[in-house]
Amino acid sequence: MSSGSSLTLDQEVSLTIYALAYGSEGIAKHEGMVVFVPEALPGDTVRVRLTQVKSKFARGEIVELIKPSDKRVQPFCSHASACGGCTWEALEYGEQLEAKRIFVENALVHIGHLKTVTVNPTLKASPQAGYRHKIQIPFQQGSGGVTAGFYAKHTHSVVPVEECPNQPALGNKIFREARALIKQFGYTGYNEISDQGQVRHLVIRLGANTHEALAILVTRERELPRLSEWAAELRQRIPELVGVLQNVNPAKTNVILSSEYRTLFGRAFFFEQLRGLKYRISAESFFQVNPFQMPALAGVVLEAAALTGKETVLDLFCGVGWLTLELARQARWVVGVESVRLAIEDARANAQLNNMNNVEFIAADASAGAAQLRAKGVKPDVVVVDPPRKGCDRSVIDVILRWRPKRIVYVSCNPVTLARDLALMFPRGYALKSAQPVDLFPHTYHVETVACLVRIGEPHVG
């Protein structure tokens, strides 16, 4: 309980939501105390039962929606209230875009310690449904047999679905046929509590512009009866499948994929085409889940890099070389660094596929790869980083800042770690030139941001 508030656990209070927190909870205040309310939207008046009361904040669940916000819309998916995949289907799309812009702005001010910042309006997605081209579907064993769908909000209990409107028709078709065959062949779903069962997940990878597909069956056991026959039957039903794979994951973990793959049919990679370039993407290689927005994202990165054709560019966390090849179109020389060796193999193949001779790829983690290049005397004019959600290690930032590149282009899927990392760069000779959010994940709170930093004066480098 707060010293300035009389709120208690299980108390019911009426609140008006005035904003959204990063993570998609609604924010209200009661007697000066901040109250977070899942599933509440700005403008809602709600009656809430308090489920958590701390010294500086409380959290509650909606008991009654007294007056809905005028920003509420009818969800387009019948599973929206139960499924944890899309938290914002009930929020008008323009409001989603503004909320994401505010997330980035707040992070840069409160975590990045910028007194003033201008964050551009979020670039909207088109289409806003059917965009997910990597699909991960859990399978569970219940009293009624195998259940497949998506996890309910804040749980690992599966909500059974027939299709997901945020996936393309081909992805939904592969899911339905694979599920039917799993039942037909008598395979069991996974039980997390007992650590028993055969099938854990089905992972689907799709090429939006090539219409190629991979299906990856994640199993707890290495040997399943008639598995090759299962794969052949799935391929017969789905001609677009260029590969059917098995991923063996015996660990008691919520990590979906292990490092062990077996090809049951076809090949272990698919092709995608974007902006006139062709990409080979292996089953375990990262690629953006929304290919429709990748051209817009590439355009923002290239504008931020401001290349003239004379620059040496370093692309850290390069994956299969998507941005590396885009940058190579406008730079003298580009080096991509990536720790996943199979992704580097894809990247090198992609350079050959597109006849790119002004690129080089290094298989190493970002810090080691950057240090290796620095030891060789490489001095990039522009550094592009596209790290995972956890952001950049301090060692990566230190190596970059010792180079003093003219520009640093930071592509981030997490405003919090973006702002944290930029806060380390500002005192060492860099200023924020632009921050551009891009909506790659409609109907969720996730936002991609491209931040452009420019070098100013002579920084102190420790």
All domains in the chain, ordered by first residue: 12-67 (2.40.50.140), 105-125+290-455 (3.40.50.150), 134-274 (2.40.50.1070)
Instruction: Reply yes or no on whether the pLDDT at 39 is more than 60.
Output: yes
H, E, C per residue of 300-330: HHHHHHCCCCCCEEEEECCCCCHHHHHHHCC
Tokens of 174: 């592969």
Instruction: Reply yes or no on whether the pLDDT at 438 is more than 90.
Output: yes
Tokens of 287: 């690629």
Extract the runs of DSSP E, i.e. beta strands, from 332-447: 333-338, 359-363, 382-385, 407-412, 430-438
Q: Give, for 371, the enclosing helix (H) or strand (E).
A: helix 366-375
If one counts every other C-beta atom within 10 angstroms of the C-beta of residue 38, the result is: 18
Q: State the catalytic residue, choosing from 86, 392, 413, 452.
A: 413
Place 406 in a pLDDT band, splitting at 50, 70 and 90. very high
Q: What is the structure's pLDDT at 86?
A: 87
d(CA 228, CA 461): 58
Q: Give the mean pLDDT of 288-293.
A: 96
| Tens of pLDDT, residues 163-177 | 999 999 999 999 999
Q: What is the structure's pLDDT at 94?
A: 97
pLDDT-wise least confident of 79-88, 380-389, 448-457? 79-88
Q: What is the structure's pLDDT at 459?
A: 44
User: Do residues 224 and 198 make contact, with C-beta atoms less than 8 angstroms apart?
Assistant: yes
Q: What is the structure's pLDDT at 462?
A: 37
Q: What is the structure's pLDDT at 4?
A: 57
User: Got the DSSP string for 90-135?
Assistant: TB-HHHHHHHHHHHHHHHHHHTS--SS---PPPBPPSSSSS---EE
User: Is 77 an active-site residue?
Assistant: no
- Average pLDDT for the chain: 94
The full length of the chain comes to: 462
| Tens of pLDDT, residues 95-147 | 999 999 999 999 999 999 999 999 999 999 999 999 999 999 999 998 788 99
| Tens of pLDDT, residues 17-35 | 999 999 889 999 998 899 9
Instruction: Reply yes or no on whether the pLDDT at 461 is more than 80.
Output: no
User: Do residues 204 and 227 make contact, with C-beta atoms less than 8 angstroms apart?
Assistant: no
Q: What is the structure's pLDDT at 265?
A: 95
Instruction: Reply yes or no on whether the pLDDT at 5 is more than 80.
Output: no
* Whole-structure pTM value: 0.94
| Tens of pLDDT, residues 258-279 | 999 999 999 999 999 999 999 9
d(CA 94, CA 251): 42
Q: What is the structure's pLDDT at 3?
A: 45
Beta bridge pairs of residue 149: 160
Name the one residue in this structure whose structure tokens are 């991509």.
Answer: 336
If one counts every other C-beta atom within 10 angstroms of the C-beta of residue 222, the result is: 11
Instruction: Report percent pLDDT > 90 for the chain.
Output: 87
Q: Give the mean pLDDT of 411-422.
A: 97
Q: What is the structure's pLDDT at 154?
A: 77
Place 256 in a pLDDT band, splitting at 50, 70 and 90. very high
Place 155 in a pLDDT band, splitting at 50, 70 and 90. confident
Q: What is the structure's pLDDT at 142?
A: 80
Instruction: Reply yes or no on whether the pLDDT at 233 is more than 70.
Output: yes
What sign does the CA torsion over 311, 415, 84, 193 have? positive
Instruction: Reply yes or no on whether the pLDDT at 227 is more than 60.
Output: yes
Instruction: Reply yes or no on whether the pLDDT at 68 is more than 70.
Output: yes
Contacts of 27 (CB under 8 A, 6+ apart): 17, 18, 19, 20, 21, 34, 35, 36, 37
Q: Among 223, 181, 221, which Cα is nearest to 198's?
A: 221
Alpha carbon 287 to chain centroid distance? 10
Q: Give the mean pLDDT of 292-313.
A: 97
